[in-house]
Amino acid sequence: MKKLLSKMRKKQPQEPAGRITTDTLAEHREKVLAGGRKFKYPVQYQRHKLVINALIIGVAAVVLLVGLGWYMLYSAQNTSEFMYRVAKVVPVPVAVVDGEQVRYSDYLMKYRSAEHYLLEKEQIDGNSEDGKSQLGYVKSQAMTDAIADAYAQKLARELDIQVSDAELETFLKQQRQSSDGEVSETTYNAVIRDYYGWSPAEYREAMKSKLLRQKVAYAVDTKADAISRGIEEKVKAGNTDLKALADSLNAEAPETATFMPATAWVPKNNQDGGLTEAALKLKNGQVSTVVKTTSGDGYYYVKLVDSNETQIRYEYIYIPLTEFDAKLAQVEKDNKLKKYITVEDTITQPDNQE
């Protein structure tokens, strides 16, 4: 009997060990989730670690690039094409004048242009003592010029002075004039690139800064303006003796005016900033109204002495602009000029520099 009961028990189906029932559903779900967590959490941890490492590497790379750029510009004073382009994108200063930043790119643009001319046209040896001296001179000049341009920009904002596109185009057209007529813009740009290494955009930028500085120099120099108006009144009253006018002015204040007598005949298409052009509009012995030449360095009064079919002779009196330079010198004297690089000042210009 016992054997029969035992066989009957063996024949009864056994519930599978992994069978899911209502009672075991929650338990089975927890087991499945627990099995997945061992894969989920390590991946989350690694991803978090990768993000942190990427951020650390990125910050380190930026710091390294900034440090390298600072070293190349401010310590090594690298003037290569690459560093010039970097300075154009990142407007870092090379100096500060009266609170106005002097862009490093402006300084490099001026220096690289002068360097290009010396190396390519003058064929100087940049590694020789004379070559280093000349490059040092133009480097000092580039720094001085960039500082003056930045100071002019500051004063221009205060005085609400601007250079319009029309003014710039007129000036550029005047620059393309030659004794044989007007040079095409394409040819002129090619000459500028060949001699000075400037692209058309860089040349326009440089000329616009030049014009702005000229306009500021005229605006701030009230003394020169008053002297000029005084000369104009005397000329209108019939006084055409320019030498006597200059002597009278210099007797009151030395170096106020410069008289230049007529020396030689010059062609009627002579390019002298506009003096010949002004003289051509006069009769012999007549004095012009005030002339502001393209050099923008002061006021001129021209007197036609003689002329023929192809040539003329003229004399002139010149009243220089001095106030802008005086104001800039005072800024430096008041310790409001800070240079971030050391540029050796050259006292005398090399003999073969123009």
231/237 Cα distance (integer angstroms): 10
| 218 close to 323: Cβ distance less than 8 angstroms | no
In the 8-state DSSP scheme, what is residue 314? E
Cα 105 off chain centre by: 5
Contact 275, 302 (CB under 8 A): yes
pTM, two decimals, is: 0.80
Using N-to-C axis directions, what is the helix angle for 104-116 and 185-196, rounded to 10°? 90
Query: How far is residue 321's CA from residue 251's CA, in Å, rounded to a whole number?
Result: 18
Measured in whole angstroms, the distance separating CA 155 from the mean position of its chain's CA atoms is 16
Q: Would you state the pLDDT for residue 3?
A: 56
Q: What is the pLDDT of residue 179?
A: 67
In sequence order, what DSSP letters do the residues of 144-186 get, joined into one string? Answer: HHHHHHHHHHHHHHHHT----HHHHHHHHHHHTEETTEEPPHH
List all residues 6 or more positions away from 349 whose beta carbon is below 8 Å from its beta carbon: 137
The DSSP 8-state label assigned to residue 301 in this structure reads E
Q: Which two tokens stand for residue 263?
A: 């020396």
Q: Which of 110, 114, 144 is nearest to 325 (CA)?
A: 144
Indicate the residue type of 338.
K
Q: What is the pLDDT of residue 20?
A: 61
Minimal CA–CA distance to 149: which of 98, 108, 209, 208?
209
AA letter at 59? V
**Tens of each residue's pLDDT in the chain, 354 residues:** 555 545 555 555 555 555 666 666 677 777 766 666 655 555 555 667 777 878 888 888 888 888 888 888 898 899 999 999 999 999 999 999 999 999 999 999 999 999 999 999 999 998 899 999 999 999 999 999 999 999 999 999 999 999 999 999 999 998 888 767 788 999 999 999 999 999 999 999 999 999 999 999 999 999 999 999 999 999 999 999 999 999 999 998 888 999 999 878 999 888 888 899 999 999 999 999 999 988 889 999 999 999 999 999 999 999 999 999 999 999 999 999 999 999 876 544 444 443
d(CA 316, CA 165): 31
Which helix (H) or strand (E) segment holds residue 307: the answer is strand 298-307
Q: How far is 23 from 7, CA to CA, in rounded Å? A: 30
**What distance in Å separates the CA atoms of residue 314 and residue 323, rounded to the nearest whole number?**
28
Q: Taking the alpha carbons of 71, 74, 78, 82 in that order, is the dihedral positive or negative? A: positive
